[in-house]
């Protein structure tokens, strides 16, 4: 059984052990104990010292195996990106050109340097131990954050993004970085990735402000624009089921897609329910699986069954109650673990243009 809870300073060694196999591309969690320690301290302050509106709080959570205490996953939320230190991206634009004289059409893709000073919120830093990866654990780790947001809604921006990990191999090779980044920064990808976490200032100092024409890049560099790392595909699908869509932005160093959603329309947030526990059952009972979190005290979440009783109260198992440190009369917030499948009528199925939803302009 697993729980998800806020990270603490005592978790540093466990986090370092978890990240041993993380490879390159997990930009926000470098395998540097000093950087991680500072982020853990920042996270602890975010949970306890905050205003009535988002100011860039950084909430970090760990997924813990309840009976062993082993940390098997980590995930995070930033209440608002930007501020004094902006976040940097490329904005994709596709321009359609046509010559009737020679009967030719072509699309020109350009990347525009883009920075954000004033929000939105961001979910980030998701990593699950490879030995524990399956559809249930990955989904639980990802979606648990939305119950925290639902419970603390006023502390987050209206929109929320997720920057998906791009195509970087285990040795830190990025064809896009080789074609673009090295021309301006003169350092390799792993070092740039590490420096970006410590201080982003060098990006704006060295990055050209004019557009980059993607069509002029080597084919392997063009191919990875807007693509996610194979290990990140499941996480992207989960978020798309929650209502996230491509924003038109990609990462700056390895251009994975940035997806976005209105925070109040994220499925788990929108469908989550708060109710009171009036029965704790020692015996097993029939129920679909829910993500369940406590509403008072420190955030804790787990998976379990919930039954709504005729009296209006809720029944949970004694195992769930123990995992979340709950008693009779306590409130919980819960949401269905998986979205309900929508039935499609064959007569109403339409063909959809699956190209990225980028800004399009037509020129002749």
Alpha-carbon separation of residue 97 from 104, 180, 219, 222, 226 (angstroms):
8, 24, 20, 19, 22
Q: Which long-range contacts (CB under 8 A, 24 or more apart) does 186-192 make?
A: 189/24, 189/253, 189/254, 190/24, 192/253
Alpha carbons 345 and 271: distance in angstroms, whole number = 25
List the beta bridge partners of residue 95.
Answer: 108, 361
- 3-class SS of residue 11: helix
List the beta bridge partners of residue 138.
Answer: none
Q: Report the length, in residues, of the chain.
A: 364
Q: Give Dmax over CA atoms of the chain in angstroms.
A: 79
Comparing CA positions, the residue from 238, 344, 249 lying closest to residue 291 is: 238
The two structure tokens encoding residue 340: 């309900």
Region at 356 (left for phi over 0; alpha for psi -120 to 50; beta for the rest):
beta
Comparing CA positions, the residue from 28, 20, 9, 18 lying closest to residue 63 is: 18
Provide CB contacts within 8 A for 210, sequence distance 6+: none
- Catalytically annotated residues: 229
């Amino acid at each position: 059984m697993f729980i998800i809870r806020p990270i603490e300073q005592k978790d540093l060694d466990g986090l370092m052990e978890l990240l041993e196999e993380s490879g390159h591309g997990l930009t926000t969690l470098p395998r540097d104990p000093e950087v991680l320690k500072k982020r853990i301290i920042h996270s602890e302050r975010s949970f306890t010292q905050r205003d009535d509106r988002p100011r860039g709080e950084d909430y970090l959570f760990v997924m813990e195996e309840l009976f062993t205490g082993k940390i098997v996953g980590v995930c995070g939320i930033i209440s608002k990106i930007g501020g004094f230190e902006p976040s940097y991206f490329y904005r994709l634009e596709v321009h359609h050109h046509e010559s009737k004289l020679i009967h030719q059409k072509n699309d020109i893709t350009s990347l525009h340097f883009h920075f954000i000073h004033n929000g939105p919120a961001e979910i980030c830093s998701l990593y699950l131990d490879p030995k524990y990866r399956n559809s249930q654990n990955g989904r639980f780790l990802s979606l648990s954050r939305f119950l925290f947001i639902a419970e603390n809604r006023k502390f987050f921006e209206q929109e929320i993004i997720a920057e998906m990990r791009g195509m970087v191999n285990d040795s830190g090779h990025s064809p896009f970085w080789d074609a673009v980044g090295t021309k301006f920064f003169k350092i390799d990808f792993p070092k740039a990735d590490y420096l970006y976490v410590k201080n982003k200032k060098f990006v704006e100092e060295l990055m050209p402000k004019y557009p980059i024409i993607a069509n002029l890049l080597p084919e392997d560099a063009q191919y990875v624009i807007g693509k996610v790392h194979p290990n990140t595909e499941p996480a992207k699908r989960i978020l798309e089921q929650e209502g996230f869509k491509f924003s038109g932005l990609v990462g700056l160093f390895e251009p994975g897609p940035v997806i976005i959603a209105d925070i109040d329309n994220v499925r788990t947030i929108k469908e989550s329910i708060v109710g009171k526990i009036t029965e704790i059952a020692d015996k097993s009972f029939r129920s679909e699986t829910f993500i369940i979190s406590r509403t008072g005290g420190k955030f804790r979440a787990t998976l379990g069954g919930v039954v709504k009783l005729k009296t209006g109260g809720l029944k949970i198992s004694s195992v769930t109650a123990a995992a979340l440190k709950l008693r009779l009369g306590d409130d919980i917030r819960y949401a269905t673990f998986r979205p309900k499948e929508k039935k499609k009528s064959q007569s109403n199925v339409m063909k959809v243009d699956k190209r990225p939803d980028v800004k399009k302009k037509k020129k002749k």
